[in-house]
Amino acid sequence: GDSVTQMEGPVTLSEEAFLTINCTYTATGYPSLFWYVQYPGEGLQLLLKATKADDKGSNKGFEATYRKETTSFHLEKGSVQVSDSAVYFCALSRDTNAGKSTFGDGTTLTVKP
């Protein structure tokens, strides 16, 4: 079945540091890939997505590239801020899976001033 494996946390960085959160997936066909972010007390919200190989999703300074050859979708940001502290989830969905998404376990990021 489908699966998503993401880097275990928690991750603690200083402000302005470079961020990478690794995400790899297992799925048949050509899934769409997503990063969601969850701030304290809120639901998950879409951060960025990519729907085909070599696509780059980007938003709020975050980027991730759909790499089919390595089945990866790593999240990166060049300079993190305290306000980026949150839980980040990698996820995939397939058209043939009737709308159902598969989520990773989430990675908690804390950015210190």
Which residues are at the interface with other proteins (CB under 8 A)? 32, 34, 36, 41-46, 49, 51, 89, 93, 95, 98-101, 103, 105-106
CA atoms within 13 A on the CB side of 72: 11
- At closest approach, how far in Å is the CB of 111 from other proteins? 21
11 vs 103, which CB is nearer to other proteins?
103
13 vs 30, which CB is nearer to other proteins?
30
The token pair that represents 92 in the structure block: 């995939």
What's the CA gap between 80 and 110, in Å, rounded?
A: 10
2 vs 17, which CB is nearer to other proteins?
2
The token pair that represents 63 in the structure block: 């980027």
- At closest approach, how far in Å is the CB of 16 from other proteins? 29
Q: Do residues 47 and 60 make contact, with C-beta atoms less than 8 angstroms apart? A: yes
- At closest approach, how far in Å is the CB of 61 from other proteins? 19
Question: Greatest CA separation found in the chain?
Answer: 45
